[in-house]
Structure 1
Amino acid sequence: MEAAPKVIVMGGSWGGIQASLSVLQNLPETYSIPIILVLHRLRNQEGSLQEVFDKKLALKAVEIEEKEALRPGYVYLAPANYHVLLEKDHTFSLDVSELENYSRPAIDVTFTSAADVFSENTIGILLSGASKDGSSGLKYIFEKRGMAIVQEPEEAEVDTMPLAAIAMVPGCFILDTERIKAFLLSLHDR
């Protein structure tokens, strides 16, 4: 990857909350690359992921709002029951179209959208999960010359999602959460 990454998109489902917290926990509040996190959640689930992430991270965790601009130092959380897309002007668009891979938000939708906007400056990270969502989006990032990272399946709480991604994106990096965290820290502009 020649150019500096401009966005990190991360996805997971079953086991993804814990895995993403592990990856993001030591990143500084001034982290130089915006992070978008898409986690499968129950459509009628009450309670705020934002509160969970805000308590445990130095980064500011916010639930994505329509037309919100992408900024460094933030973890943007996909809201329940909305697909999240990135626009060319680096703002978010929320969409309530059909479920994709039985999910809304679908990881594939956000990964593909980020790669369309940032191409080789996109880093896609797929974590623990019990579906195949995210695999084709990660492949799309890789085809656009972005970086594809998959959580080590043996470490994942549920390995279905990582194994599906590895099968679809043979050129991906397979790392445990400690190595993903170390890699992300190495990208930070100090």
Structure 2
Amino acid sequence: MNGPRRIIVRGQARPAPEALLIGASAGGVEALLRLLVDLPGDYGLPIVCLLHVPDSRDSLLAELLARRLALPAKEAEDKERLRAGVVYVAPAGYHLSIERDHSFSLSREEPRHFSRPSIDILFESAADAYGAGLAAALLTGANEDGAAGLLAVQRAGGLTLVQSPAEAQVPTMPEAALALLQPDFLLPLAAMHSLLAELDAPSC
């Protein structure tokens, strides 16, 4: 097949995603499990998950996901390159960024929206690194972190997904995104799961 792979979204051809990001806060663990639990072990995209956790507490999310998913799951490490078919979790107490060479960078800069890690920082850095080859989803949460980052993804040409606020355990985060942009998809989790499964296919 010549040229970069493309997908069909709502009748329009666009670059196929090279990476998938998911941001969430309050209610996010349950939402993440519902999204990812049935994805196949040969899923072709790296998946980077960022949930707000207190600095003082180690995140057990990677361990939980590793037990429940067909895909391997681990905490992202500084300078580590993203690999297809791996679920990465942002570690507690650090901002997680993605560099132009598609490697992770950890930093201890000041919190943004009272959050470290910050979804905005992850999404904005990944938009710069991947451009139109990025898909990003914003789920349930209790603050506005992630809205500006999702707008950056959209402006870079990436695919944007927002959980329906009516279904979200805490609707503040998806509502903040909808106040800034019209996402490509506004979906309940079951429909979003189906879409994520199709992103690795020739068309969706």
Instruction: Say whether the fold is shared (TM-score over 0.5).
Output: yes
Cα distance in structure 1, aligned partners of 2:160 and 2:16 = 15
Post-superposition shift, 1:90? 1.1
Paired residue for 1:90? 102
Asked if 2 retains the 8 angstrom alpha-carbon contact of 1:31 and 1:189, the reply is no
* Unmatched tracts of structure 2, length 5 or more: 1-12
Counterpart secondary structure, 1:2: strand
Which of 97, 102, 116 lines up with 1:104 in the alignment? 116
Paired residue for 1:175? 187
Asked if 2 retains the 8 angstrom alpha-carbon contact of 1:9 and 1:35, the reply is yes
- Give CA deviations for 1:97-119 in whole Å, capped at 9, x if unaligned: 11011000000000001100101
Asked if 1 retains the 8 angstrom alpha-carbon contact of 2:136 and 2:153, the reply is yes
Greater C-alpha Rg: 2
Post-superposition shift, 1:25? 0.8
Paired residue for 1:5? 17
Post-superposition shift, 1:46? 3.6
Paired residue for 1:153? 165
Equivalent residues, number: 190
Asked if 1 retains the 8 angstrom alpha-carbon contact of 2:161 and 2:183, the reply is no
Which of 91, 101, 124 lines up with 2:136 in the alignment? 124
Matches within 5 A, 1:49-64: 49-64=61-76
Counterpart secondary structure, 2:66: helix
Cα distance in structure 2, aligned partners of 1:53 and 1:65 = 17
Cα distance in structure 2, aligned partners of 1:112 and 1:77 = 17
The CA RMSD measured in Å over matched residues stands at 1.2
Counterpart secondary structure, 1:130: coil
Counterpart secondary structure, 2:105: strand
Asked if 2 retains the 8 angstrom alpha-carbon contact of 1:166 and 1:172, the reply is no
Identity %: 41
* Unmatched tracts of structure 1, length 5 or more: none
Post-superposition shift, 1:172? 3.9
Post-superposition shift, 1:37? 0.5
Counterpart secondary structure, 1:141: helix
TM-score normalised to the size of structure 2?
0.90
Counterpart secondary structure, 1:73: coil
Cα distance in structure 2, aligned partners of 1:138 and 1:107 = 9
Counterpart secondary structure, 2:106: strand
Post-superposition shift, 1:147? 1.1
Post-superposition shift, 1:89? 1.2
Asked if 1 retains the 8 angstrom alpha-carbon contact of 2:43 and 2:200, the reply is yes
Cα distance in structure 2, aligned partners of 1:166 and 1:47 = 29
